[in-house]
Structure 1
Amino acid sequence: MPNTIRALLFDLDDTLYSRNAAFRRWAQEFVHNDLGLAEDDQRCQEAVEHIIDLDEWGYSPREMLFRKIKEAHHPILQKSVDQLIETYNHQFLDHIRLEEETQRLLTALKGAGLPFGIITNGAISRQLHRIRVLGLDKLTSCIFISERFGCEKPDSAIFLAAAACLGYEPDDILFIGDHPQKDIWGARRVRMHTAWLHHQREWPAELMETPPDYSIGSLGELCALLTPNSTSSL
């Protein structure tokens, strides 16, 4: 990586923590507790996989997701769609956690003197709760949530505001995210360096002209690029 990197910016969901892993844990609990299926029942795993498919990596609107779940399991589910969403929002927080490699990376950044920030799309209350549960609010004050800021990724304004918050020019910053367009294309458009968490996916054909600078399988890969006791360590 170029030694001009002075700071990092991260996406939140499925970047700083595995939202999909958390959703799977939630789905397993939901199927067991709300649908009454035992873990050793073949229908249990089938129901979990069906719910995960409906989730579409978190991009399916919650109202649509729970309406489809309710339709598939009527009349077992007596709660309304709104009630199911409210319960989900509380329960999901119990299943999110920082992976060890993420903790190692954030520790390494601190040791290297590299500040970082977070840019995430979504509702203020939901995303801020997740950030607090993960303890990230204690590690950075540079937190940009689209609903609070007034626009969302890939709008250039939110990237530029986060860069200004960190006190560096965009081309001094490495942005790490998992969404090809909202994260990587958006960051590249303001001249940030980019690292794409590919999650075993291929880079989209429609974005072949604007690939990421780096394609990584996990945040742990960034740790190897850190040089101790340097403020230009990537």
Structure 2
Amino acid sequence: MPLLMLDLDNTLVDRDAAFHDAVTAFLTEHHLPHTDLTWVMALDASGYTARQDVAAAMTDRYQGLVPTTAIHALLDHGTADRVVLAELSREALDTARTDGWTCVIVTNGRTVQQEAKIRRTGLDQLVQGWVISEAVGRKKPEPEIFHAAADAVGASLADAWVIGDSPHADIAGANALGLRSVWVSNGRPWAQESYQPTHVAVDVATAIDHVITAAR
């Protein structure tokens, strides 16, 4: 069966929206100015800033105002507790499986947090497996994590596709392995000159539909 490797954050699920909601609740609970929402979101950089760096910056900013434990709770559980899977994405995954695709999530991040998102959204019932960078000791775009994903579900990388929102982690990673890819733009223009995705889609459901159609 052909292999479809999918990114998690801001691809299968809207990680930024969930974090936005968590930070909003955090600011309200601790009576902090809601103008700080912009600062925290920029600091977080869609999850690409190391957790310890975000925690350190927030601890410094809110010293004497917020317990350190509350900051750690926000960063460890806030997003995972609020993330949802869009119905169109769920339907697209169902169609892919019906068409014979082996679907596996390939995500960078911490194991506990990423698995919490996968299980909370029901993705664990919609894909055949997943690999998380912390668990395998490699992260995208390193080729080893894509090989680990294929091994996890007993599939081959031959004819595999990669779907993701990160030009560097997902598309460059696919390109290095000679794999076809779909970049989930989320409304952004493609800005890389040294490599290109096979296809560009506005969201993951459209991306999955493209892969299915291209293979038929």
Cα deviation code 1:20-75 (max 9, x no counterpart): 011111111111112x25xxxxx42x121221111111111222223323333443
Name the CA shift for 1:63/1:162 in 2 (closer, same or farther; >3 Å): closer
Q: Which TM-score applies when normalising by structure 1? A: 0.82
Higher relative contact order (CA 8 A, sep 6+): 1
Q: Report the equivalent of 1:66.
A: 55
The share of aligned pairs that are identical, in percent, is 28
Q: Does residue 1:32 correspond to 2:41, yes or no?
A: no
- For residues 68-83 of structure 1, the aligned pairs below 5 Å read 68-77=57-66, 79-80=67-68, 83=70
Q: Distance in 1 between matches of 2:96 and 2:128?
A: 15
Q: Report the equivalent of 1:211.
A: 196
Larger Rg: 1
Cα deviation code 1:151-195 (max 9, x no counterpart): 111111221232344444424111001111111111121121101
Gaps of at least 5 residues in structure 1 are 38-42
Name the CA shift for 1:107/1:61 in 2 (closer, same or farther; >3 Å): same
Name the CA shift for 1:223/1:153 in 2 (closer, same or farther; >3 Å): closer
Q: Which of 12, 17, 26 matches 2:13?
A: 17
Q: Distance in 2 between matches of 1:6 and 1:136?
A: 19
Name the CA shift for 1:90/1:218 in 2 (closer, same or farther; >3 Å): same
Q: Residue type matched to 1:23 in 2?
A: F
Q: Which of 135, 140, 148 matches 1:148?
A: 135
How big is the alpha-carbon RMSD for the aligned residues of Structure 1 and Structure 2? 2.3
SS of corresponding position for 2:207 = helix
Q: Residue type matched to 2:147 in 1?
A: L
Cα deviation code 1:70-110 (max 9, x no counterpart): 33344322x12x55213531233221110122112112212
- For residues 3-152 of structure 1, the aligned pairs below 5 Å read 6-34=2-30, 36=31, 43-44=33-34, 46-77=35-66, 79-80=67-68, 83-152=70-139
Gaps of at least 5 residues in structure 2 are none
Q: Distance in 2 between matches of 1:189 and 1:124?
A: 25
Q: Distance in 2 between matches of 1:224 and 1:151?
A: 29
Name the CA shift for 1:186/1:222 in 2 (closer, same or farther; >3 Å): closer
Q: Which of 167, 178, 186 matches 2:173?
A: 186
Number of paired residues? Answer: 215
